[in-house]
Structure 1
C-alpha cells in the first residue's frame, strides 16, 4: 500500500503531467513506466556489474561504447539516467527524445521478442524540456523514498497505485496480486532450475518476476553457474500472456530490469484459439481475472470438455486451461474466488471433480476477504494441484488463513499477526499434519469425505468449531446483584434531587 509522503509525491508527480497537458491516465502511466524503466536500466546495470564481480562472472555493461541513433553517434554513457540529471533541461530533453527513447526501443538488438514487439509503438509524449526536468526531479525524490522503504515490494505498490487511478481499473478483475501473496505461492511451489513457468494472465508479470527472484536467491548456483540452466533461465523459462498492451510493455520491462534478458511476454487471449499451448509447462502461477461470463463462441473448443455451459465462468475456464497447458506431473498454484469452492452449478462441480478424480488436488488455502482491499473485497482461496491425468488425490490439505501480516481494512497497515510463514512450513511438511484436528487452523480431509459432499471444497464444510463452556452464576445471585444495583441507582437519584432543591433560589 502507498501511504504518507510517498503517496503525496506520486500525486504531485501526477499533477505535473496533468498541468502539462497529459490528462489521459493511461498516457500518464505509460510515460511514467518508460521513465521508470530508463531509471532502472541504469540502477540494474550497476547492480549486475557488482554481482558479476562478486561471482567472478564475465559481464559487460549495456552502457559501454557508442551507439548510432538516427545517423548520430552517441556515447552510451550519456544515455544513463544518472548522466541525464546533470544536463541542462534542453539538452536533457533532446537526449531523452532523440537518443534514449530510440535506444530502449532497440535494446533487443532487433530480435523478434515480446519486448521489441511491444516497444515499437511506444511514443515519447512529454511536450517540453521544463516539464521533463520537473518530472525527473520528482521521480528522483520518489526513488529516494522507495530506497528507504525496505519493508516490501514498494515498486509493485507504486504500479498498483498508478493503476488505481485509471477509471476502468478492476472492471475486468485486473487487480494486482499483493506481493506477499505472490511470494507465498512461489515458496509453496519451490520452482526448480529446469521448470518452464507460465502465467496466462500475467499483467505486470509479478508472479514471473517473483519466481525468477526466488530461483536467483535460493538456487543461485544451480541457476547461474550451470551454462544450460542459465541459458534456459534467460530465454525459455518464463512465459506470460495478457490482452492489455500497456501491461505487456510494463511486464516485459519489469522482467528485463530483474535480469531476464529475453522474456516471453505475449499478446494473447488465453481462453481462445489464440493460445495453442498444450502439455507444455511444468509450473503455472496465476491470479486469473474473475469477470463473470464469456461469449461461448469465443472460447477455445477444447476448453468445453469439462466446463460445458453456454455461459462459462472465466475462473472455471482458467482452471481447465491450466490443466490443458501443464505437462504430466506439472503443478499449479492459483487464486480463485470462493464461489469456485462451493458453487452448485454443473460446471462448478465438474471442474472440482476433474481436479480431485483425474488429477491430484493438494491444498485449499482460504484467504480472508481483506487481502485485495482497498480495490476489492472478494473472498478468495489458493488452490494447489498437480496434473496427473489418472488421479492421485488421497487427502486434501485445508488451511484457514486469518491474517496475512496486514490489517484487513482499506488501510492495510502492517501488523504482527501473519499466518504465511506457518502456511509455507506446514505445506512443506504435510506428513506432520496427519494428526491435526478439525478444530485446528489446518487439517487434512480424506478424498472420500469430499466426494460424499459433492466435491465441496469450502473449509467451513469440514472445519469444526470448538465451543468453550462458559460458567454463569446462579440466577438468584444475578437477580440479587440487579436488585443491589437498582437500590444504588434509587439512592443516587434521591441524593441528586436533594442537591437540586438546596440550590433553588429562595422567595423574595
Structure 2
C-alpha cells in the first residue's frame, strides 16, 4: 500500500490541475496517464541502455529513434524554459506516443490515443506536473526498496488505483465506479486460478481485471509456492488471461493504463460495443466473467446482436448483459456479476425469461443482496451479486442467498469506515456453504430449493424467501397509558401556569 505522504502528493498534483482550469476528474486522470506513460517509456529505454552498456552491445529495439531523443522524459524534464517544455511535449512528444509502434505493452495503450487530446495549455502547469510526478515516482521507488513485501510495480498500481478513487461522477449510461472492496469480495467468491481466461465486457477503468490479476498473482499451492512462478502460468498471465471491452475511448485509455501500471503487459482491452450486432465473434471464449454493467437505459432494437435477442427479447441493457454473459462463457465457465434489484423480481416477460434461463438451463449458485448505500455517493440503487455457472444442461438444485447489511463503510454519502462488515462472513460462509446446514431462513444466509423459486415465477428477491422473526411486545392497558398521558399533560399545564406568573 502507498503511504499517506504519497497520497498527499497525489492530492497536491490533483489540486494543481484543478487550480489551473482542468477540473473534470476524467480529464485530470487522462492527462496524468499520458505523462505517466511517457515517463514509463523513458524508464524502459533507460533500462535497455543500462543493459546494453553492461553487455557492451547496442540497444536492442530502441523505443526512441535518434531524431526523437528530445521526446524522452529525461530530456524535456530538464528544460529550464517552461514555454519550451510545453512546445516540445505538445508538438513532438504527444504526437509521438499517439503513433507509437512497438511491443504489446506500448501498442495496447497507444492504439487508443488516436482521438486523445492534450489539454495542458499552461507552461507553468506542465512544468509543475512534470516535477511533481518525477518526485512522486522517485519516492515510490524509494518506498519499494525499503518496504517489505512490496515492489515498484505493485506500488505503482496502488498509486493509480488511488487516483482512480477520485472519479466520483456517474456516467451518463448508468455506469459508475464499483467499490474496490466489493470487487475484491466477488473475486474471492469465484476464486480464479492461473489457467483462467477472464473477461469484463463493460470494463471501464479495469477494476475487476486488476483485482483478479492481484488475486491470481498471490495464489499459492499446497506447499506455499506461488503458482504464477510456473513459466506457462506466467506467460498466460501476461498474454492470454485478461480481456476487457468498452466503447468509451476515455475508459479504454484509463483501463489500459491501469493494467500496464499493474504489470500486465498483454491484456486485451478492446474497443467494442458488447451488445451490438457488430460485436466481434467472441462467444464461448471465457472461463470467468466479472462485471458491473450499466444499469439503466435501453438500446436501439435494430443494433442489438441477434444471438442476444434469441436468449431474451428486450432492449433493456441490464437484461441484455446477462444474456451476453451466457454467450461469452464457455460451458463450465462461471460469472459473478452485479445486477440492479429490478432484475430479481421484475414481472415483465423479459425479466422472467432471463431468470428462468439462468435457473433452468444453467446453474444459479448464489445471490448476495446488497444494501442501497453500497454505491453512494454515485447512486442509491439497490443491487445484488449473482453467481452462476454456464452448463447448457441445468444443474440448479438449491440457491444460496445472503442478505448483506453492512460492507464496512457507512451507507450514506460520506462512506466513512465503520465496524460493521458482513464481507468476511460472506466469504467464509460461501466457502463452507451446505444446504443441509444453511436452512434457517431467519438468518443472513440460507438455501432455497429450485422448485420453490420456480413456483414463485423465478422471483429472486431475498425478501420473498426470508422469514422475519417477530418479537412479542407487551404494552400496558390502554386506560393506564391514557392516565399517564393525562398526568403528563397536567404537569405541562402547571409549568405553563408558573411561567405565565413569572412574566406578569
Distance 1:236 1:154 in 2: 25
Distance 1:404 1:282 in 2: 28
Give yes or no for contact 2:398–2:435 (8 Å, CA) kept in 1: no
Distance 1:188 1:426, change over 3 A: same
Distance 1:348 1:190, change over 3 A: same
Deviation of the 1:225 alpha carbon: 1.7
Give yes or no for contact 2:167–2:177 (8 Å, CA) kept in 1: no
Deviation of the 1:342 alpha carbon: 0.4
> Which runs of structure 2 are paired with 1:351-500 in the superposition (5 Å)?
351-431=354-434, 434-500=437-503
* Corresponding residue number in structure 2 for 1:334: 337
1:292 equivalent to 2:297? Answer: yes
SS, match of residue 324 in structure 1: helix
Deviation of the 1:107 alpha carbon: 7.1
RMSD (CA atoms)? 3.7
* Corresponding residue number in structure 2 for 1:130: 124
Distance 1:106 1:186, change over 3 A: same
Deviations along 1:355-409, whole A, 9 cap, x unmatched?
0001000111111111111121111111000001111101111111111111111
Give yes or no for contact 1:269–1:275 (8 Å, CA) kept in 2: no
Deviation of the 1:315 alpha carbon: 1.0
Q: Which moved more, 1:488-497 or 1:441-450?
A: 488-497
1:258 equivalent to 2:278? Answer: no
Distance 2:105 2:498 in 1: 93
Distance 1:362 1:218 in 2: 23
Distance 1:10 1:342, change over 3 A: farther
SS, match of residue 255 in structure 1: helix
SS, match of residue 362 in structure 1: strand
TM value normalised by structure 1:
0.81
SS, match of residue 382 in structure 1: strand
Distance 2:68 2:24 in 1: 35
TM value normalised by structure 2:
0.82
Deviations along 1:305-346, whole A, 9 cap, x unmatched?
12124xx21111111111111111100000111110001111
* Corresponding residue number in structure 2 for 1:506: none
Give yes or no for contact 2:409–2:417 (8 Å, CA) kept in 1: yes
Deviation of the 1:462 alpha carbon: 0.7
Deviations along 1:136-177, whole A, 9 cap, x unmatched?
3455788899999x9x9674353353462xxxx521122111
* Corresponding residue number in structure 1 for 2:73: 79
* Corresponding residue number in structure 1 for 2:197: 196
Distance 1:288 1:421, change over 3 A: same
Distance 1:96 1:388, change over 3 A: same
Distance 1:181 1:45 in 2: 38
Deviation of the 1:431 alpha carbon: 1.6
Distance 1:67 1:388 in 2: 49
Distance 1:213 1:138, change over 3 A: same
1:319 equivalent to 2:319? Answer: no
Distance 2:272 2:371 in 1: 31
Deviations along 1:14-64, whole A, 9 cap, x unmatched?
33442xxx6887655422221244467789999x9xxxxxxxxxxx9xxx9
Give yes or no for contact 2:332–2:391 (8 Å, CA) kept in 1: yes
SS, match of residue 402 in structure 2: strand
1:271 equivalent to 2:278? Answer: no
1:158 equivalent to 2:163? Answer: yes
Q: Which moved more, 1:447-456 or 1:261-270?
A: 261-270
* Corresponding residue number in structure 2 for 1:88: 80
Give yes or no for contact 1:239–1:264 (8 Å, CA) kept in 2: yes
Number of residue equivalences: 470
Give yes or no for contact 2:99–2:111 (8 Å, CA) kept in 1: no
Distance 2:467 2:70 in 1: 69
Give yes or no for contact 1:360–1:393 (8 Å, CA) kept in 2: yes
Distance 2:436 2:37 in 1: 45
Deviation of the 1:300 alpha carbon: 1.1
Q: Which moved more, 1:134-143 or 1:387-396?
A: 134-143
Deviation of the 1:465 alpha carbon: 1.3
* Corresponding residue number in structure 2 for 1:242: 246
Distance 1:467 1:145 in 2: 58
Distance 1:389 1:308 in 2: 19
Q: Which moved more, 1:357-366 or 1:124-133?
A: 124-133
Distance 1:346 1:153, change over 3 A: farther
SS, match of residue 128 in structure 2: helix
Distance 1:436 1:67 in 2: 64
* Corresponding residue number in structure 2 for 1:51: none
Distance 1:295 1:227, change over 3 A: same
Deviations along 1:259-308, whole A, 9 cap, x unmatched?
11111111111112323111111000011112322111111111111212
* Corresponding residue number in structure 2 for 1:305: 310
Distance 1:289 1:323 in 2: 17
SS, match of residue 166 in structure 2: helix
Distance 1:11 1:257, change over 3 A: closer
Deviations along 1:468-506, whole A, 9 cap, x unmatched?
1112233343344334334433443444344445xxxxx
SS, match of residue 384 in structure 1: strand
